[in-house]
A and B are shown apart, each in its own frame.
Chain A
């Protein structure tokens, strides 16, 4: 008797009532509209009201759904709303930044900006071609230096290293990841001053500073990618009589290639906008210089900083150029990501 009743009473029926499909969204919409109305009527900040509104609608939907559908569906619905709201909150700054940069950067995003330099420019006009070239050269040199070093370090750490040395190296890579960028810049300055004396400014110094920032990112991401290459592939290769180093070069690296490229792109995007280390290593320069080994070299972040920091008598043209430089940086990063993706589409394969 008792065992039979457990089965029959504890089982929930498999059908149940449910809220109308528009129900939860109507609640959220209503509450948020009310928040906007309240925000325009009173002094309270709109953001705070919207946030409170989301919390309130999560609560309302939970209570309503629980009454109609039971607690599991209620949890599902309230968590759905909370997760969606968090997502929107997370991308809000991104959208806002993009919007601001676009709306203010487009004013000077014109042909002269890409063909002229800032040489002898006072007031309106001029361009940032020298800074664009500088950014591409400095970041390019930094990438050329740090990608091989980073990938080889990751290969050592994951495929060969063991014991104390591996632990120590992993620790140092972690520490390097956290280095403030100005410290990387100071390191490059100190290093070059040793050889060339004080006051030295070179494009390649900036590249060295950026490499210090890039290497740990490349090491970390490459190591993660090597970890997800199945051991079965390595063993299959060994069982064919292929030596370990060839297995790594011909089997492991190609399998992990997509992830490694993505990691490199992340590293490039991370350093291409660095200002502080470049300010003290490459200096400020308003003419074209594409040779990283020959004196000062301009670049977009420093250019933007300088235009903004030292505007002329009429500041608008300077501020406009600063925003256009920021927009150019974003476009460069997006183009590089797209290019990497296309290259990967063309030549890469998925791990599974």
Chain B
């Protein structure tokens, strides 16, 4: 089984061309904890999250300054292969995006198969079942693994994407508003899943849902931008309890109590 790892972010600045999107972030993401990132729209949460597995640089003209140290290794060091980083730091997106040409089984197996890791069928079957069980989807799909992944409901698709992400056994799992397209029941199912997953993974989740942050996370970081056009910054990060009951910063308090904008 994979081992969760810590992530040390220091003096991180993120740019889109000449636009400075995120400024000077310093934080430690602890292993086997759920770290929630909250903050108003456009303050750079997704941008920051994508910099943790080197997806940020896929945008044309995007730049990164500073360092992100994954268990002792700076992932932005010149000799690091971004593809290898991404297989250690998985990601689940806001919109469920199963591969439309693949069945449920193939979707879960995709991470291994696309990397052409040769594997015997029984071994693959076992990984697929374990991942689907891990994503709480096994019981619902075990009789139709050969059907198209895009034929599932939105919540099932999102859990399929989580299964796909954990099938490659990453050390860190990033989730960008994974529940925003889901109903409350599916949302609770995924929150439950997140709590289970932290036994094996380090999890970072972006959410706009304060209840979700307070229910599902151990640590909460609050991003804010002073005014539009300025870069977003990490205002405060602390135990979720503290952020929601007794934050150090006035802006944080206003935001979590809903007295914002």
A binding-site residues for B, Cβ under 8 Å: 162, 230, 232-233, 235-243, 246-247, 250-251, 254-255, 257, 348-352
In the complex, whether B15 has a CB less than 8 A from a CB of chain A is no
Beyond A239-B165, A240-B110, 6 extra complex contacts between A and B, CB < 8 Å = A233-B97, A233-B100, A236-B164, A237-B110, A239-B55, A240-B90
User: Are A240 and B165 touching (Cβ within 8 A)?
Assistant: yes
Residues of B within 8 A of A247 (CB): 114
Which residues from chain B contact A250 at a C-beta distance below 8 Å?
A: 113-114
In the assembled complex, B228 has its CB within 8 A of some CB on chain A: no
Query: Residues of A contacting B91 with CB < 8 Å?
Result: 235, 239
Q: Is the CB of B164 within 8 A of A240?
A: yes
- What distance in Å separates the Cβ of B16 from its nearest Cβ neighbour in chain A? 15
A159 vs chain B, min Cβ distance (A)? 12
Instruction: Name A232's closest neighbour in chain B (CB-CB).
Output: B97
Q: Is A241's CB under 8 angstroms from B168's CB?
A: yes
Contacts of B161 in A (CB 8 A): 236
Q: Quick check: A162 and B60 within 8 Å, CB to CB?
A: yes
B87 close to chain A: CB less than 8 A: yes
Partner of A246, one of B84, B98, B114: B114
Across the interface, A240 reaches (CB within 8 A) one of B58, B100, B114, namely: B114
What is the bound-complex CA distance between A241 and B98, given in angstroms?
16
Assembled-state Cα–Cα distance A241/B53 (Å): 10
The residue from A238, A257, A348 contacting B86, defined by CB atoms under 8 A apart: A238
Smallest CB–CB gap between A163 and chain B, Å? 11
**What are 20 contact pairs spanning A and B, CB under 8 A?**
A230-B97, A232-B93, A232-B95, A233-B97, A233-B100, A235-B93, A235-B97, A237-B99, A238-B83, A239-B90, A240-B111, A241-B83, A241-B87, A241-B88, A241-B168, A242-B111, A257-B101, A348-B101, A350-B100, A352-B100
State in angstroms the CA–CA spacing of A350 and B60 once bound together.
28
| Residues of B with C-beta under 8 A to A246 | 114-116
A239→B53 contact, CB < 8 A: yes
Taking the complex as formed, is B252 at the interface, i.e. its CB lies under 8 A from any CB of chain A? no
A85 vs chain B, min Cβ distance (A) = 39
Asked if B148 CB lies within 8 Å of chain A CBs, one says: yes
- Chain A residues near B99 (CB, 8 Å)? 233, 236-237, 251, 255
- Contacts of A235 on B, CB cut-off 8 Å? 55, 58, 91, 93, 97
Contacts of A241 in B (CB 8 A): 83-88, 111, 115, 168
Whether the Cβ atoms of B115 and A242 lie closer than 8 Å is yes
Those 4 A-B pairs whose CB atoms lie nearest each other, nearest first: A241-B87, A240-B111, A239-B91, A232-B97
Q: Residues of A contacting B53 with CB < 8 Å?
A: 239
Select from chain B the residue with minimum beta-carbon distance to A230: B97
B188 to chain A, nearest CB (A): 24
Q: Which residue of B lies closest to A250 (CB)?
A: B114
Q: Which of B55, B83, B88 contacts A243 (CB 8 A)?
A: B83
CB of A6 to closest CB in B, whole Å? 34
> Given A239-B90, A250-B114, are A255 and B100 also a contact pair (CB < 8 Å)?
yes
CB of B67 closer than 8 Å to a CB of A: no
Q: How far is the CA of A348 from the CA of B101 in the complex (A)?
A: 7
Give the distance to chain A from B116, nearest Cβ to Cβ, in Å.
Answer: 8
A315 to B58, CA, bound (A): 67
B6 within 8 A of A: no
Given known contacts A236-B93, A239-B91, A242-B83, is B114 in contact with A349 (CB within 8 Å)? no
0/1 string, B152-173, CB within 8 A of A gives 1:
0000000001001100100000
Closest B residue to A239 by beta carbon equals: B91
| A284 smallest CB distance to B (angstroms) | 46
Q: Does B23 contact A (CB under 8 A)?
A: no
Query: Most chain-B Cβ atoms within 10 A of its Cβ — which of A232, A242, A247, A350?
Result: A242
Q: Are B86 and A240 in contact (CB under 8 A)?
A: yes
B150 beta carbon closer than 8 Å to chain A: yes
Question: Inside 8 A of B55's CB, which chain A residues have their CB?
Answer: 235, 238-239
From known contacts A232-B95, A352-B150, infer whether A237 and B101 are also in contact, taking CB-CB under 8 Å.
no
Residues of A within 8 A of B97 (CB): 230, 232-233, 235-236
Least Cβ distance of B246 to chain A in Å?
Answer: 36
User: How close is B148's CB to chain A, nearest CB, in angstroms?
Assistant: 7
Give the residues in chain A near B60, CB-CB below 8 Å.
162
CA A289 – CA B219 in complex, angstroms? 77
B124-166 CB mask vs A (1 if < 8 Å, else 0) is 0000000000000000000000001010000000000100110
Does B101 lie within 8 Å of A240, measured CB to CB? no
What separation, in Å, do the CA atoms of A350 and B88 have in the docked complex?
Answer: 31
Contacts of B150 in A (CB 8 A): 352
CB contacts (< 8 Å) of A348 on chain B: these are 101
